[in-house]
């Protein structure tokens, strides 16, 4: 069986204009995660953390289904030809949301988000450095170490404040 996976390194770099458009969109999506944490924490306390997670994924699945339905013809997934490791995200997403739902009422939204950010950036630096998952290799340099250190410092300061 042949793999139909996309090598991330083969995807062309975004044009400067597209990068200027994508960066604010990604920042807005990050803001959305903070709102999601603010909504999920109380919802988890009221209905249970797993039910809160299921409701979020149910609503999201319904919206994605409608988008697929009205977005025109799309190439459907060929799940039997994909390497199984590429489906790990389907396992990681609910774990992330359950942890978000559990942590937010106890440690607050800011602490939850900066802890998530420190984990994301730390792992992202490793993924870039080693070229895991087909990512283009980017060696860890001083600026990247400093950025990670500053995020950890922010985590400590928010935890103390």
Confidence grade of residue 89 (pLDDT, cut at 50, 70, 90): confident
Confidence grade of residue 48 (pLDDT, cut at 50, 70, 90): very high
d(CA 3, CA 155): 40
Minimum mean pLDDT range among 10-14, 26-30, 72-76, 135-139: 10-14
Taken as a whole, the chain contains a residue count of 161
Question: Cβ distance 130 to 137 under 8 Å?
Answer: yes
Question: Cβ distance 118 to 151 under 8 Å?
Answer: yes
Take residue 53 and report the two structure tokens written for it: 């997670």
Q: Collapsing DSSP states into helix, strand and coil, what is residue 46?
A: helix
d(CA 152, CA 114): 8
CA distances (Å), origin 64, targets 11, 53, 57, 86, 117: 24, 16, 10, 19, 26
Minimum mean pLDDT range among 10-14, 79-83, 91-95, 146-150: 10-14
Take residue 76 and report the two structure tokens written for it: 């459907």
Take residue 109 and report the two structure tokens written for it: 């939204």
The ranges assigned to domains in the chain are: 20-70+86-107, 108-160
Q: Please, what is the angle between helix 16-47 and helix 89-107, to 10°? A: 60
pLDDT at position 5: 44
């Amino acid at each position: 069986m042949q793999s139909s996976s996309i090598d991330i390194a083969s995807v062309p770099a975004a044009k400067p204009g597209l990068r200027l458009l994508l960066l604010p969109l990604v920042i807005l999506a990050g803001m959305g995660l903070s709102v999601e944490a603010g909504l999920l924490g109380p919802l988890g306390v009221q209905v249970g953390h797993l039910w809160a997670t299921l409701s979020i994924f149910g609503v999201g699945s319904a919206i994605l289904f409608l988008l697929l339905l009205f977005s025109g013809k799309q190439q459907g997934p060929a799940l039997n030809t994909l390497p199984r490791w590429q489906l790990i995200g389907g396992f990681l997403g609910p774990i992330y949301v359950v942890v978000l739902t559990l942590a937010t009422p106890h440690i607050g939204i800011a602490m939850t988000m900066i802890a998530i950010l420190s984990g994301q950036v730390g792992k992202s630096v490793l993924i870039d450095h080693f070229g895991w998952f087909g990512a283009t290799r980017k060696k860890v340099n001083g600026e990247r170490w400093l950025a990670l250190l500053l995020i950890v410092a922010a985590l400590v300061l928010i935890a103390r404040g």
